[in-house]
Amino acid sequence: MISNIDLLLGLRNGAGQRPLRMIGLSAALVLAAAAAGMLASHPGLPSYLVTAAAAIMVAAVIFAYDLAAVLIGWIAVEGIAYPFIRFPPHHDIATLDRFVILALGAALLFTPTQRLPRESRRLGWAFAIFAAVYGVRAVLTHQLPLPSGPNGGPLSVYQPEASWLDDALLPCIVFFVAARTMTNMRWRTAAKAFIVLGTSVGLLGIMEWAFGFELATLSGHQPYIDPGAGVIRAGGPYADPLGYGAVLIICIAVTLYWLQTQKARGVAAAALGIQLVALGPTYTKTVWAAALVAIIIAVGLRRRMSSRTLFVAIAVAVIAFVLYSFAQSSSAVSTRTSASVTSNNALGRVDDYVEGFQVVKQHYLAGVGVGNFGPAEQLVPSVTIGNVSTNVAAAHDTFLAVLGEVGLVGFIPLIWLVYSGAGVIRASRRYATTAEEIIFGAAVLAASVGYLILSLPFNELLESPPTILLALLWGAAAARLRAREPGVISQAQPSIESSPA
């Protein structure tokens, strides 16, 4: 009986893992007993926190048996589960993302560490330092009153800590889990999970557009209503179209990888079609542009830019122009892409940037605090350029948001994080020897560039799911570098027949 329990919990999966998991199991039992006692005598927030910690520890001991399987399963169900699996309903206190990823992070403590190569170690340190600095600033944040407007309203006193959890800690944990576990064989399974995610999320967005319902309120948010175009921009299961579009772009890059390297291309092609169609109802030009660039990179780029890249770029541009010609018959599309709307949006962004830099100038060292950029921007003199003034107090740029809210102490680690991520992608492409490895590198680069394009006019850190998924891709790339080190058995895939151009 004891042997069966040990086997179930994975305690016999290696001599070095057994004492670590025994410690985790003991901690989980102690926390569970404490939670039961606290709930019985003094129900309240402390009791709920201890209960949550006990549940996470129990899950961590179980997850430690196979971290990769749990991570891959989470990828596949994340989109469908996002609006539905949460407690309490219509809030983001306890969600599937937070529970699973925090349990995976705790499970890392009960599994043996593995030395990563130089590029991967540098990226790991960058993730850890950025998460640590962001967390300290979140704890020390004194919340300012929210800006006026339809999205204004009271926030939880723990909102800065919640933002740190979603924006920095969860991506950091996912990176380390993927970097430790994502072998080439497991990556193929993870790629299928990405295809399932993109298809499910895309179908939800298409159904929202076709049948007129929305899912944003299920997660405690409001649907993104565009008064100018007279439409609700589809966000699928997420809060707004930016997170939805970024998830689709990442999944499109992985789906294109599968189409070029694996079998069962018919199913992948159908999934790709759904994901591409699902981008339309976002009615967001930046999402469309980022998707086009990502497709060109994923299909047209091999070791370097070449005639293949140019040919793919021309082909994608022609197809996009034809589709746009048909889409112009839609009043919403024609309004969103009109010259006046585009010009006003551009001038409004410039207004935001000027006002944002005034905020940065006053709080350049440690920032105004996590989540305080919008309220702080309302306290600086307003700017009007070309008779267009900004109507939204927010940082329309990821880097400007971090610089304004966390200051140079957070901005410098963020730049190091981006630089280190680029280093891992570059190393993956440089050391690639098979066509599959080259195409994998192009897919990761495509997803990263698409995310970066969205990060320049928007604060993409606020969109938690795509940030976590991108961290997972970087972790997979880091794991591949580890597999190439001497003494590590690599589950390399055979080269595909067609050699890269």
Residue 41 has pLDDT above 90, yes or no: no
Tokens for 389?
């003034």
The number of distinct structural domains making up the chain is 2
Domain end call among 113, 135, 169:
113
DSSP H/E element including 385: strand 384-385
Which residues are 226's β-sheet partners? 231
Residues 17 and 161 in one domain: no
Pair (346, 255) in one structural domain: yes
Residues 131, 16 share a domain: no
Percent of the chain, pLDDT > 90?
52
Q: 360 with 404: CB under 8 angstroms?
A: yes
Is 270 found in the same domain as 143? yes
108 and 131 co-located in one domain: no
- Position 263 scores a pLDDT of 79
Q: Which of 113, 141, 167 is the last residue of a domain?
A: 113
CA 419, CA 285: separation in Å to the nearest integer? 27
Q: Which residue has the tokens 């609700």?
A: 232
pLDDT on residue 448: 98
Nearest Cα to Cα of residue 64 among 107, 3, 35 = 107
Distance of alpha carbon 382 from the chain centroid: 32
Note whether 135 and 70 are same-domain residues.
no
Three-state DSSP class for residue 224? strand
Mean pLDDT to the nearest integer, 369-386: 83
Whether residue 147 is found in the same domain as residue 185: yes
The one-letter amino acid code at 100 reads V
pLDDT at 147 over 50: yes
The pLDDT of residue 390 is 59
158 and 199 housed in the same domain: yes
Q: Could you say which of 53, 82, 113 is where a domain stops? A: 113
More confidently predicted of 259 and 14: 259
Query: Per-residue pLDDT for 130 more than 80?
Result: yes
The per-residue pLDDT for 22 is 57
What local confidence, expressed as pLDDT, does residue 8 receive? 36
36 C-beta neighbours (distance < 10 Å), count: 14
Residues 17 and 162 in one domain: no
Q: How far apart are CA 287 and CA 247, in angstroms?
A: 10
Say which residue the tokens 């997660």 belong to.
219
pLDDT at 492: 42
Give residue 93's domain range.
Answer: 1-113
- Selected residue with higher pLDDT from 89 and 167: 167
Contact predicate 253/450, CB 8 Å: yes
What's 398-409 look like in SS3? HHHHHHHHCCHH
In whole angstroms, what is the distance from residue 73 CA to residue 68 CA? 8
Please, which pLDDT band fits residue 383 given cuts at 50, 70 and 90? confident
- Report residue 500's pLDDT band, with 50, 70 and 90 as the boundaries: very low
pLDDT given at position 356: 86
Are 205 and 244 in contact by the 8 Å Cβ rule? The answer is yes
Nearest alpha carbon to residue 71 among 100, 99, 95, 106: 100
Terminal Cα-to-Cα distance of the chain (whole angstroms) = 58
pLDDT of res. 430 = 92
Alpha carbons 440 and 483: distance in angstroms, whole number: 15
Alpha-carbon distance of 151 to 166, in angstroms, equals 20
Q: Same domain, yes or no, for 281 and 397?
A: yes
98 three-class SS = helix
* Burial of residue 377 (number of CB atoms within 10 Å: 0-12, 13-18, 19+): buried
Dihedral sign, CA of 40, 45, 50, 55?
positive
Q: Please tell me the predicted confidence (pLDDT) of residue 494.
A: 41
Q: For 149-159, what is the mean pLDDT?
A: 58
Strand 388-389 relative to strand 231-233, pairing: unpaired
CB 95 within 8 A of CB 52: no
The whole-number pLDDT of residue 44 equals: 60
Mean pLDDT of 417-443: 95
Lowest average pLDDT, out of 26-35, 221-230, 424-433, 460-469, goes to 26-35
**What are the Cα distances from residue 270, in Å, to 258, 264, 265, 321, 450?**
12, 11, 9, 22, 22
Residue 19 burial by CB count (10 A; 0-12/13-18/19+): exposed, middle or buried? exposed
Whether 468 and 435 share a structural domain: yes
Residue 154 has pLDDT above 70, yes or no: no
Residues 205 and 337 in one domain: yes
71-124 residue pLDDT tens: 999 999 999 999 999 888 877 888 999 999 999 999 998 887 777 888 999 999
Q: In the predicted model, what is the mean pLDDT of the chain?
A: 84
Give residue-wise pLDDT tens across range 256-312: 999 999 877 889 999 999 999 999 999 999 999 999 999 999 999 998 888 999 999
Query: What is the Cα–Cα distance from 334 to 325, expressed in whole angstroms?
Result: 10
Q: How many CB atoms lie within 10 A of CB 232?
A: 20
Q: Which two tokens stand for residue 330?
A: 């839609």
Are the C-beta atoms of 47 and 99 separated by less than 8 Å? no
| Predicted local confidence at residue 145, as pLDDT | 77
Question: What whole-number distance in Å separates Cα of residue 168 and Cα of residue 283?
Answer: 28
Instruction: Tell me which of 239 and 258 has the higher pLDDT.
Output: 258
> Rg (Cα) of the chain, in Å, rounded?
23
The pLDDT of residue 259 = 95
pLDDT, tens digit (0-9, with 9 covering 90-100), for 474-495: 999 999 997 665 444 444 444 4
Give the DSSP H or E segment for 291: helix 285-300
Q: Round to whole Å and give the CA distance between 195 and 175.
A: 20
Q: Are 35 and 47 in contact (CB under 8 A)?
A: yes
